[in-house]
Amino acid sequence: MTIPIRKDEDEEIFSFISNEFHDELPRPSPPKKSVQELFSLTGKVAVITGASRGIGLAIAEQFSQAGASLALIDYLDCSKQQLDLMNDDNLVKSYQCDVSKSDQVESTISKIEQDFGTIDIFVANAGIVWKTGNIIDETNDNYKGYDQLMGVNLNGVYYCARFVGRIFRKHGKGSLIITSSMSAHISNVPMNLTPYNVTKAAVKHLAKSLAIEWAGFARINSVSPGYSDTGLNDHLSRSFRGKMWSLIPLGREAQPFEIATAYVYLASDAASYVTGTDILVDGGYTAI
């Protein structure tokens, strides 16, 4: 059944869109730049959660190479990574924070704003994996692992978005990039990862929804990595990982730097017209 929309209702909807996002249409386009200028992050302040290793560290390395100043957030100590990434052209600081705790996220983001003056780019990357199998197994009876997973992978991203979004709104600009997963698109095998899949689907849609709500002052996107050689799968046997490789058209896991390039693009002016989208970097896994 199709419910007709009256003309006045239709006009009200479009009036909301215009008033919510735009002062005047069309909005101004950015100036044309060279490719090198478009992908440069020089002069920008970037925050990365889960920055101590894996994809987060690879993002930090590439952002640094592109000229950004960095605030590294992790549950673990990032002081060594901070020293490794420092150079004469950018400022790098590290902060310990449990992103599943809203008060810690709020105080950490506030401290970063004080230290750097602003935040231009925020990568909500911190996440943990599900290792306890089927949800009906006895190993999952106490819900501890489930609550922890939701706390980091979903609530943590929500808290980060909420507090950095206020800074973006204040300055009228910003780029939020959320790490989702190919697990947001499919039920991946051969592992039982249902709770993990749910968290990644949720943050993928969080990015899409915020892209609409924040269209007037920020770009919001997500990246969905496939199986990656970050150390998180080292507990799996080689024969089991072999099954994974056989399901990937490119026949291997991604190296972290191959994932990180998508973040450089989304953070840069090269993606000035990109918001509300998700970039899959999965070696073709979800194409099957």
List, for residues 181-196, the tens digit of each pLDDT value: 999 999 877 778 899 9
Tell how far CA 21 is from the center of its chain: 23
pLDDT at 30: 93
- CA-to-CA distance for 209 and 79, rounded, in angstroms? 35
The predicted structure's pLDDT at residue 276: 99
Hey, which bits of the chain come out as E strands?
45-49, 69-74, 92-96, 121-124, 175-179, 219-225, 278-281
Which are the catalytic amino acids? 181, 196, 200
Contact (Cβ atoms closer than 8 angstroms) between residue 285 and residue 182: yes
SS3 letters for 91-103?
A: CEEEEECCCCCHH
21 within 8 A of 27, measured Cβ to Cβ: no
Instruction: List for the chain the helix, strand, coil content (%; round to 5).
Output: 45, 15, 40
CB 286 within 8 A of CB 280: yes
Give one DSSP letter per residue of 194-225, joined into a string: HHHHHHHHHHHHHHHHHHHHTTTT-EEEEEEE
pLDDT at 240: 84
Length of the chain: 288
Quote the pLDDT of residue 178.
99
User: What does the longest C-alpha to C-alpha distance in the chain come to?
Assistant: 64
Strand partners, 124: 178
> Residues in the chain with pLDDT < 50?
18
Per-residue confidence (pLDDT) for residue 98, from 0 to 100: 98
Mean predicted lDDT score pLDDT of the chain: 92
21-32 pLDDT, tens digit each: 666 889 899 999
pLDDT at 167: 99
pLDDT, position 95:
98
Q: Residue with structure tokens 């919001």?
A: 220
The residue type found at 143 is Y
Burial class (CB in 10 A: 0-12, 13-18, 19+), 113: buried
Fold adopted by 38-287: Rossmann fold (3.40.50)
